[in-house]
Structure 1
Amino acid sequence: MQTREDIFNTLRDALVELFELDAGRVTLDANLYEDLEIDSIDAVDLIDHIKRQTGKKIAADEFKAVRTVNDVVEAVFRLVNTAA
């Protein structure tokens, strides 16, 4: 079982690697679209990266509701901690 902190650290590393963001900008409160300038194509790349890391696909409908890094952490936490 992954903790929220583990997920955040992995997500922060992915955002830095995929989108060349400064790690200091990636906080739980950071808005993906406004603060980190993630667009819809970037979001698809992020969903794909999450799938490769977890082996599970996050539902596009669920991802539409995310706005902040913390929202992504919570969505991934639910995803990896639900029995499939």
Structure 2
Amino acid sequence: MQSREEIFVTLRSALVELFELDAERVTLDANLYEDLEIDSIDAVDLIDHIKRQTGRKLAAEEFKSVRSVGDVVEAVYRLINDTPQTQD
């Protein structure tokens, strides 16, 4: 079981490696699309990377709702810990 902090560190490394981002730009509050300039094709690459790392596929429908790096961390945390998504 990974903590949210461990997931964040792994995700930040992946974003830096995959999309050549500066690590300082990758914060929990950073918006994937506005702050980090991730486009839909990049998002698919990120979903694929998460699948390779976790052995589980993050549903595209769930990924559509993520906006920030923190949202991705939470989605991956739920994925690897089989915690059901809560509705606000």
The TM-score with structure 1 as length reference comes to 0.98
Calculate the aligned-residue CA RMSD, in Å: 0.8
The residue that corresponds to 1:21 in the other structure is 21
Structure 1 residue identity aligned to 2:55: G
- The one-character-per-residue Cα deviations of 1:19-70 (angstroms, maximum 9, x if unpaired) are 0000000000000000000000000000000000000000000000000000
Structure 2 residue identity aligned to 1:70: G
Structure 2 residue identity aligned to 1:17: E
The TM-score with structure 2 as length reference comes to 0.93
**Distance in 2 separating the partners of 1:82 and 1:18:** 26
The count of residues paired between Structure 1 and Structure 2 equals 83
Give ranges in structure 2 of 5+ residues lacking alignment: 84-88
Structure 1 residue identity aligned to 2:65: A
Identity, in percent, stands at: 82
Give ranges in structure 1 of 5+ residues lacking alignment: none
TM superposition shift of 1:2 = 0.2
